[in-house]
Structure 1
């Protein structure tokens, strides 16, 4: 499904009514902010939260944006986050009482009602809780410089991301047959070279997902800092992703290199689960329980995207996230045994071990990636284009074809 496949897009959109954006996206966040600011008794908070949760699931299962890729993106990033926010901010925490801004440490509870509502809305959208006393761990260092320097840096990042995304998307667009589950295996020989070629395809798709997320964040940060609407302080817009040199284990890949937008949910629910189960904090078992809770929450968020594509797809994202949790448990078990045997190095591993770690993470990603990517193409999500216009396909490739034809 590319630019020209308008009939297939129209057929998909006709299956369900269009999503009433204000009713199911804007108003629920306002309602959640009001609940947080008013701080009603717990029973009332739970009752109101159940209504909001019902609305989120109802909207996800009933309406459409018109294309599979937009449905998956909206279902996971908006409605998935909405579900996690509702549960965290009404069940497990009292944000107006528990959270505060480091540069303005006065309790939010003493603010006027409308100010509390505004702060509550900011907390909902401040995914990593930047600048608060509960900021997510492993967030990159804040930007130190002027607004102009920040915007110039972001502009460079924006241009690099747009060019990169256009190039990789153009390649995937013209090679869908290498990604479709029913045809992909026919194009890769059962040899080391075939494995590397298949890995390169998976890598291109993963890079596209990474670039798409980074591009969206860059645009939001530039708008906020340029307009000063909402949070326009450059220090409150650190880079979305961490340092990729830290990704020498699967745990570090997810916990340090990847974004930390969901970590507030993972941290609170992981600690809550360990406490309920009576598992001593700081133990190996406590760590594993928290890891699996984190990936189950991430799976739930992405399964909301599954649901918005089609009810029949609900749960298909789960296998990928469950598998990554198991991979981390395997890693941690090996490291625990090595430490017990006195073989584990203290601190950051030496370069040779990190290189082996990078190879392991590469192999793991190329094996586990199809668990997520395969059904994306089967459900038509991967066949949609992300960018509305492609200079590579509209200008560069036709020009190269004309040059080749005249040669």
Structure 2
């Protein structure tokens, strides 16, 4: 096999098998059986990795690798039947629930990556405030309007990305652009990621609302305000989506508390948890990249996600040290007045933006070379509208 066109298609049954096996595994009452069920889940994803997916299936590849680490948490590291309970569940263990109730418990767990509505829901403001809307219909209309705007935004970003040489598969790469162009490209790329994740989340919200079981207050936004991302820790810990928070923190806690037996809130323990969390994030995306790599001409070292995410841990660690030193030396920078606090936040947001301007080519350039950007899902509302009115559109770079 010498080209992507010669990839054998991955059977549909194999693609869905890790998710079906995950559901079945959570149904077993025995912890030993649940742990054993982790092996066929990993085996199925490894088999898909050997066959490989096309570059346009990068999101699917990441969903598969996320499932591996998620089930490592739910089946191996955690006794999920005892430790994970929805708010209001009377039974102390999911294993004591009737079969149908246990199936609902398992399905709800698999579809609640942020554990909203569970006793383990994060309490440190990492989840955006819950909506105050009380009418399902009005809330659904708002979600539909936002969904339409998001689709239009993706369409516009798809056009502008193609006009940027850095995002072309055979172009000079993002790192080869000037700093001004690179800064704009960083904003464009994050806007694309933000919008696609928001689209999938709003579709899921509409599905949940249609069941009549969930209220708007049960469905907080996926992202918090960008205005609060004035440090890297706040960006990753609050502003960015928290879909991987449970997966990353559970592995970090296991390493620091159970393997190394460190005090839970000790400085060394928190440091290890930070690096393990970003290592898991890197592994998830790195594995996903490898799954869509061309069949020839690249190797595992060509992927950039692991470097990118470990850099985030190093930067946050350095940031924490600087903030700690500043507090000890009582550096206030005259931030007591309101306008100075706001100005400092603006400066912080610019600093975060420029940090990503510097490091995002490390993680994104390989995706560009693999053809993920050019071969990804395309939304062409504007182009189709132009065709409908008979004028035609041409947005080629």
Q: Which residue of 2 aligns with 1:4?
A: none
Cα separation, 2, equivalents of 1:350 and 1:327: 23
Q: Which residue of 1 aligns with 2:113?
A: 127
Deviates more, 1:116-125 or 1:33-42: 33-42
Deviates more, 1:382-391 or 1:327-336: 382-391
Q: Which residue of 1 aligns with 2:186?
A: 202
Among 389, 395, 399, which residue is 2:380 paired with? 389
Aligned pairs (5 A) from 1:355-394:
355-392=346-383
Please give the secondary structure, in 2, of the residue aligned with 1:242: coil
With structure 1 as the length reference, what TM-score do the two structures score? 0.84
Contact 1:241–1:257 (8 Å) recurs in 2 = yes
* 1:175 to 1:130, Cα distance in 2 relative to 1, 3 A: same
Cα separation, 2, equivalents of 1:117 and 1:161: 34
For structure 2, list consecutive stretches of 5 or more residues without a partner in the other structure: none
Query: In the alignment, does 2:88 pair up with 1:103?
Result: yes
With structure 2 as the length reference, what TM-score do the two structures score? 0.86
Count of aligned residue pairs for this structure pair: 379
Query: In the alignment, does 2:37 pair up with 1:52?
Result: no
Aligned pairs (5 A) from 1:281-292:
281-292=264-275
Structure 1 segments of 4+ aligned residues over 6 angstroms from their partners: 345-349
* 1:115 to 1:101, Cα distance in 2 relative to 1, 3 A: same
Q: Which residue of 1 aligns with 2:195?
A: 211
> Could you tell me how far 1:34 is from its partner in structure 2?
2.8
> Could you tell me how far 1:161 is from its partner in structure 2?
0.8
* 1:287 to 1:181, Cα distance in 2 relative to 1, 3 A: farther
Cα separation, 1, equivalents of 2:69 and 2:320: 27
Q: Which residue of 2 aligns with 1:191?
A: none
Q: Which residue of 2 aligns with 1:238?
A: 220
Aligned pairs (5 A) from 1:309-328:
309-310=292-293, 312-314=298-300, 315-328=303-316
Cα separation, 2, equivalents of 1:185 and 1:262: 26
> Could you tell me how far 1:159 is from its partner in structure 2?
1.9
Deviates more, 1:335-344 or 1:160-169: 335-344
Among 126, 143, 148, which residue is 2:137 paired with? 148
Cα separation, 2, equivalents of 1:168 and 1:93: 41
Query: In the alignment, does 2:68 pair up with 1:83?
Result: yes
Deviates more, 1:103-112 or 1:151-160: 103-112
Per-residue deviation, residues 329-363 of structure 1 (Å, max 9, x unmatched): 11011112112222268999922322221121011
Please give the secondary structure, in 2, of the residue aligned with 1:350: helix
* 1:259 to 1:134, Cα distance in 2 relative to 1, 3 A: same
Q: Which residue of 1 aligns with 2:320?
A: 332
Query: In the alignment, does 2:49 pair up with 1:37?
Result: no
Query: In the alignment, does 2:229 pair up with 1:247?
Result: yes
Please give the secondary structure, in 1, of the residue aligned with 2:6: coil
> Could you tell me how far 1:382 is from its partner in structure 2?
1.4
